[in-house]
Structure 1
Amino acid sequence: MKIAFVGKGGSGKTTLSSLFVRHLAAQGLPVVAIDADINQHLGVALGLDERRAAEIPAMGDRLPEIKEYLRGDNPRISSAAAMVKTTPPGSGSRLLRLGGDDPVHALGRDVDGVTLLATGPFNDDDLGVACYHSKTGAVELYLNHLVDGPGEYVVVDMTAGADTFASGLFTRFDLMFLVAEPTRKGVGVYRQYTDYARDYDVAITVVGNKVQGDDDVAYLREHVGDDLLTWLGQSAAVRALEQGRGGVALESRNLDALDRMRAAVDAREQNWDRFRRQAVEFHVKNARSWANRAVGEDLEAQVDHGFRFPVPVPG
């Protein structure tokens, strides 16, 4: 199952991403965590020191190699250079399985049973000559070629704000957790996200954060209604983790919230036909708007209309 954490900057989405990842891993479940935020903090939130987190190879820096591997011997793709972030798989493409023996997962680092991947930071060399979507394109290609099944989890900590919708990446998820504080700005981001997603078959549910009492819950319910799935309150355990201390148990009410989040994910039915259709739609859109000119080919010809994902059997 593919899961995104989104929200405004400072809402706590990286903290909640890490809590959810830890919660799944503690139950022995297979988890890949991806730091796709322009500010790379997920590794530290999962317990790495800053040096080790910074040493994780950047997916964005390995994009040519990733493309070459995923291309395989797909005859519709003339070269790895002709692949763009939206290029969908077809006959001959290499598909990925969670934690598989492939050059993409090899970029990850094991963190207490979690495979952690990172897009890489937006650094000084990128200023003025690149946009962050050139890095998140590696994540989009990864998700487009990933065959994951029930009981397998890919958790992506997305970049903050409306940039989430600047590419087709937002359609690659079975469920998006929108982390919202009980404030006007927090619920304002919710309205913005639902407006952007209205014309797409995208599942968004709200997780309240930094909730201090019943008034905060009532405020969220007033503004997001039934989209409010659950909420987390102030936490001594989270504060300890943020200070680099362990051994403080997460409060039962916050554990219950994480259980509810997992149940919401597990209740989602993976719709591979929709996943494929949206990938093709965004690829054609990108081809016509910029990619054909950039590559010098008709990239719509990369679409293999007869291709179907080999859907994994549960268990």
Structure 2
Amino acid sequence: MKIAFVGKGGSGKTTLSSLFIRHLAATDAPTVAVDADINQHLGAALGLDEAEAAALPAMGAHLPLIKEYLRGTNPRIASADTMIKTTPPGAGSRLLRIDEDNPVYAACARTVEFERGRVRLMATGPFTESDLGVACYHSKVGAIELCLNHLVDGRDEYVVVDMTAGSDSFASGLFTRFDTTFLVAEPTRKGVSVYRQYKEYARDFDVTLHVVGNKVQGPDDLDFLREEVGDDLLVTFGHSDWVRAMEKGRPHPFASLEEHNRRALEVLHEAVDISYERRDWTRYTRQMVHFHLKNAQSWGNARTGADLAAQVDPAFVLGEFATGEPPVPAPQPA
């Protein structure tokens, strides 16, 4: 299952996504966590110290490796240089599985251990000095979109992506790559404004959107959110001494998280699992192709010098039983 956490800056989406990731790890569910926010804070929220978080490999820096691996022997893709962020898989492509070892994970993922469970953590990477003034956020998340396009995930397997703040993800097809999107909103006018914008943009793409209220301090806050977002409000989180201690670098055992917040995480988990029953791989593949053709016509063909529409394999549908080029195992330490 693929899950996105979105919301305005400061809403607490990174905090809540990290809590949900810890919750999944505690259930021993195979989980990949991805920091897709240009302000990289997910590693720290998962307990990494400053040096460990800074040492996370940037997916964007390994984009040539990712492209070459996913291309496999797909005859529709002449070279990795002609692959763009929206390139869909086809016969001969290599597909990613959550609970496997492969060169992409070996280069881009690091294991984070908790008192119970573990997850793989990947990150887009921050802006570098060479990016300043010439690159945009979307040049960083292209690697994530490409990986999600080639990812085959099943029941009780999870990818949790902490997205960039606001509605920047609508500049690509990334917002359609998820089974469930949790929009974190504070009980303020600014807090729900991103919700309205997100819902408007996503309305034609069958996006499953749930609002998660955060920093809710009482009945008035709850009433405000109910009035503003209606039935899209799924659950709320209140004050947490556990989170405050974690943010001070003094984490307590995860089992000591407050009962009402632990129950809220269970509600999120239940909502994600329900979305599995509505999963439509044909629609998912169709949307992938839709955005690829748009990007090809808008800039991809000119950038690569190739007809990228020819990369679409009309007979291929991504799914749990889809097959492609056999995976290559990750290199083993000497």
Name the TM-score class by shorter chain: over 0.9
Aligned partner of 2:27 in structure 1 is: 27
The alpha carbon displacement at 1:199 in A equals: 1.7
Asked if the contact 1:6–1:164 (Cα under 8 Å) also holds between the matched residues in 2, the reply is no
Aligned partner of 1:47 in structure 2 is: 47
Aligned partner of 1:309 in structure 2 is: 318
Question: Which of 123, 135, 149 in structure 2 is aligned with 1:144?
Answer: 149
Aligned partner of 1:220 in structure 2 is: 225
Aligned partner of 1:258 in structure 2 is: 265
CA deviation vs aligned residue, 1:274-299 (integer Å, no higher than 9, x gap)? 11000000000111111111111110
What is the distance in 1 between the residues matched to 2:194 and 2:166? 7
1:234 aligns with 2:243: no
CA deviation vs aligned residue, 1:67-98 (integer Å, no higher than 9, x gap)? 00000010100100000000000000000100
Aligned partner of 1:182 in structure 2 is: 187
After superposition, the Cα gap between the structure-2 partners of 1:242 and 1:151, relative to the gap in structure 1 and judged at 3 Å, is: same
1:171 aligns with 2:176: yes
Question: Which of 201, 204, 214 in structure 2 is aligned with 1:199?
Answer: 204
The alpha carbon displacement at 1:312 in A equals: 4.7
Q: In structure 2, what residue type is equivalent to 1:30?
A: P
The alpha carbon displacement at 1:310 in A equals: 4.3
What is the distance in 1 between the residues matched to 2:167 and 2:119? 28
1:290 aligns with 2:295: no
% identical aligned pairs: 67
Question: TM-score scaled to structure 2, two decimals?
Answer: 0.92
Question: Which of 276, 284, 309 in structure 2 is aligned with 1:300?
Answer: 309
What is the distance in 2 between the residues matched to 1:247 and 1:41? 19
What is the distance in 2 between the residues matched to 1:308 and 1:195? 28
What is the distance in 2 between the residues matched to 1:247 and 1:226? 34
What is the distance in 2 between the residues matched to 1:251 and 1:164? 32
The alpha carbon displacement at 1:200 in A equals: 1.2
What is the distance in 2 between the residues matched to 1:187 and 1:312? 39
Q: What secondary structure is seen at the aligned counterpart in 1 of 2:120?
A: strand
What is the distance in 2 between the residues matched to 1:18 and 1:80? 33
Aligned partner of 1:9 in structure 2 is: 9
What is the distance in 1 between the residues matched to 2:270 and 2:212? 13
Q: Which runs of 5+ in 1 are unaligned?
A: none
Aligned partner of 1:87 in structure 2 is: 87
Q: What secondary structure is seen at the aligned counterpart in 2 of 1:210?
A: coil
Aligned partner of 1:110 in structure 2 is: 111
Aligned partner of 1:154 in structure 2 is: 159
The alpha carbon displacement at 1:124 in A equals: 2.4
Asked if the contact 1:38–1:121 (Cα under 8 Å) also holds between the matched residues in 2, the reply is yes
How many pairs align? Answer: 313
Q: What secondary structure is seen at the aligned counterpart in 1 of 2:175?
A: helix
Q: What secondary structure is seen at the aligned counterpart in 1 of 2:103?
A: coil
Structure 1 runs (4+) greater than 2 angstroms displaced: none
Aligned partner of 1:97 in structure 2 is: 97
What is the distance in 2 between the residues matched to 1:185 and 1:124? 32
Asked if the contact 2:281–2:319 (Cα under 8 Å) also holds between the matched residues in 1, the reply is no
Q: In structure 2, what residue type is equivalent to 1:277?
A: R
What is the distance in 2 between the residues matched to 1:262 and 1:246? 23
Q: In structure 1, what residue type is equivalent to 2:299?
A: W
Question: RMSD of the TM alignment (CA)?
Answer: 1.1
The alpha carbon displacement at 1:309 in A equals: 2.4
* Higher deviation after alignment, 301-310 or 141-150: 301-310
Q: In structure 2, what residue type is equivalent to 1:309?
A: L
* Higher deviation after alignment, 242-251 or 56-65: 242-251
Q: In structure 2, what residue type is equivalent to 1:232?
A: F
